[in-house]
Amino acid sequence: MSQTIAARATSLLDRLGVPADAYVGGSLASFTPITGEEVARLKVDSLASTEAAIARARAGFEAWRTVPAPRRGELVRLLGEELRAAKDDLGALVSLEAGKIPSEGLGEVQEMIDICDFAVGLSRQLYGLTIASERPGHRMMETWHPLGVVGVISAFNFPVAVWSWNAALALVCGNCVVWKPSEKTPLTALAAQAIFDRALARFGDAPAGLCQVLIGGPDIGAALVASHDVALISATGSTRMGKIVGPKVAERFGRSILELGGNNAGIVCPSADLNMALRAIAFGAMGTAGQRCTTMRRLFVHEAVYDALVPRLIKAYASVSVGNPLESKALVGPLVDRAAFDAMQTALTAARAAGGTVYGGERVTIGPDTAFYARPALVEMPEQTGPVLEETFAPILYVMKYSDATDVIRKHNAVGAGLSSSIFTLDVREMETFLSAAGSDCGIANVNIGTSGAEIGGAFGGEKETGGGRESGSDAWKGYMRRQTSTVNYSSSLPLAQGVVFDID
Ligand code: NAD
């Protein structure tokens, strides 16, 4: 098995165009969660090579910012084409390195393709407003200009999609990108860079340093964060990381997009279609082995339907297939590493101590001892306390009974994170209240679907400890540009705003 999986990684990397010297003989070991074994050893960047990459990007920006946006879009169109051609191999590498089941590995690459399509269209838009001036013979307008170098820091669980959400928009907006992927998933980053380089070669006349990847740990991320030459830091990861990165960027008046942890909840109302809710909750809570930022972690079920729904959910938890995603049709793959499994067990112990009844959660032996598979856990909790208030990045769903429609929204919002939320109801009052200003306080609020699996067309991100950033669709592109307000006087006099008089001879 050991050789087979490493050999599989090598042949995927080879087909994806990654030269072997990038991942053989280096100091950063890359492991597959599927067996826990080492599959490659990557060369890492130093602080000096990080500075050099930022300088190359800064120089590249001087040229790229003046390339017409639709032409910049052509590069992203070619990137989308290359991703389509590489979809199967890159999806398989995502599965191998992040442990995702095959359809989720492929789904991640599809998201990359979707954002490229979106960004190509955007490259002919990037609209500014014209504004009515109070002065005769004057015109006011807004223009959106590129920002500069965009530093992308990404998490292990969406090892390549997060880069593409940022890079596709940043590039059409006229920026250069320097990417520091998770040290847990560097191979997919090398593959994404190789795919980008193929698009670049077909594109032709692009400046050097347009899009680069840096391999390394938090110290390399910290160097990006500290650099005054990096105009925007887009950081995806834990709230712990965001609490360090956010203030550091703010200290130098840099811009940041923070996409941090979630503690997402669903509410099942008396009128809910329970069959639909069951499937949505099962995918939302157990999919990707609970390792999505949008994973459903809390569930409030109305007392009138509690007994009709929760025993069925417990049954689904007991029967869901857990297994090696390369060898089976399992729906739940491995946890990323031992630390994730330990964190899960710590949370379950705390839940028991707080009066919770735990179903599942035990280790499932699949392959060598270095792999960490767990049966997803459902925990019936008497109230929202202890571990329920925190994100544990593992498949644990805390289920609580509620009776009052107003009180449940208060409880729903009473956690630090504010990423995704959903309500299951056929009652228009309940739905509209949940979506209203007095409802969910999250960046994403869904009705009759789960908390995870967002589409590329909408702005993605969350409030409070999730960081407040927005990526992907809608007008998230504005985060990658600077706004300029201009007033043009085409008259032959000089009236001042607000009627101010300042006559000089
Ligand atoms: P993590 O915070 O451990 O690491 C994320 C990235 O930050 C890595 O590249 C890491 O090297 C870097 N980093 C860590 N400390 C840093 C520092 N001081 N300065 C600069 N960079 C630093 O997160 P993870 O374990 O890889 O991912 C899981 C977390 O990410 C979960 O909390 C999950 O909810 C969150 N996440 C959020 C989103 C979102 O869009 N909101 C998406 C995916 C994951």
Compute the C-alpha angle 453/258/411, nearest 5°. Answer: 65
- Pairing relation of β-strands 363-364 and 373-374? antiparallel
Q: Given this model, what pLDDT does residue 2 score?
A: 47
Q: Given this model, what pLDDT does residue 4 score?
A: 84
Pocket probe mutation, ligand 1, options 178, 238, 248, max atoms within 8 Å of Cβ = 238
Q: What is the DSSP string of 31-50?
A: E-TTT--EEEEE----HHHH
217 Cβ below 6 A of ligand 1: yes
- Using the atom order of ligand 1, give the atom closest to the CA of residue 181: 9
Burial class of residue 371, CB neighbours in 10 A (0-12, 13-18, 19+): buried
CA distances from 134 to 188, 265, 434, 499, 500 (A): 54, 48, 41, 10, 13
Q: Given this model, what pLDDT does residue 3 score?
A: 55
Between CA 238 and CA 235 the distance in angstroms is 9
Nearest C-alpha to atom 22 of ligand 1 is from which residue? 218
Between CA 285 and CA 329 the distance in angstroms is 18
Q: Given this model, what pLDDT does residue 1 score?
A: 43
469 Cβ below 6 A of ligand 1: no
391 Cβ below 6 A of ligand 1: yes
Between CA 368 and CA 1 the distance in angstroms is 10
55 Cβ below 6 A of ligand 1: no
Over residues 52-75, the pLDDT tens digits come to 999 999 999 999 999 999 999 999
Nearest of 472, 502, 379, 438 to residue 115 by alpha carbon: 472
Between CA 341 and CA 321 the distance in angstroms is 18
CA of 150 to the centre of ligand 1 (A): 17
218 Cβ below 6 A of ligand 1: yes
Please count the residues of the chain. Answer: 505
CA of 126 to the centre of ligand 1 (A): 29
Between CA 451 and CA 298 the distance in angstroms is 10
Q: Which among 293, 380, 442, 465 is annotated as catalytic?
A: 293
- Pairing relation of β-strands 417-418 and 420-424? unpaired
Nearest C-alpha to atom 43 of ligand 1 is from which residue? 293
Pocket probe mutation, ligand 1, options 152, 185, 188, 241, max atoms within 8 Å of Cβ = 241
- Using the atom order of ligand 1, give the atom closest to the CA of residue 156: 26
Tokens 């393709």: give the residue.
Answer: 113
Q: Which among 108, 183, 259, 380 is annotated as catalytic?
A: 259
293 Cβ below 6 A of ligand 1: yes
- The tokens for 125 are 């838009």
CA of 238 to the centre of ligand 1 (A): 4
166 Cβ below 6 A of ligand 1: no
259 Cβ below 6 A of ligand 1: yes
| Claim: this prediction has a pTM higher than 0.95 | yes
CA of 259 to the centre of ligand 1 (A): 8
- The tokens for 91 are 């999806």
- The tokens for 255 are 């811009």
Nearest C-alpha to atom 30 of ligand 1 is from which residue? 237
230 Cβ below 6 A of ligand 1: no
393 Cβ below 6 A of ligand 1: yes
Dihedral over Cα of 351, 372, 236, 474: its sign: negative
Q: Specify whether 259 is catalytic.
A: yes
Residue ranges in the chain modelled with pLDDT below 50? 1-2
CA of 179 to the centre of ligand 1 (A): 13
CA distances from 88 to 100, 109, 236 (A): 14, 9, 25
Between CA 394 and CA 334 the distance in angstroms is 10
Q: Specify whether 81 is catalytic.
A: no
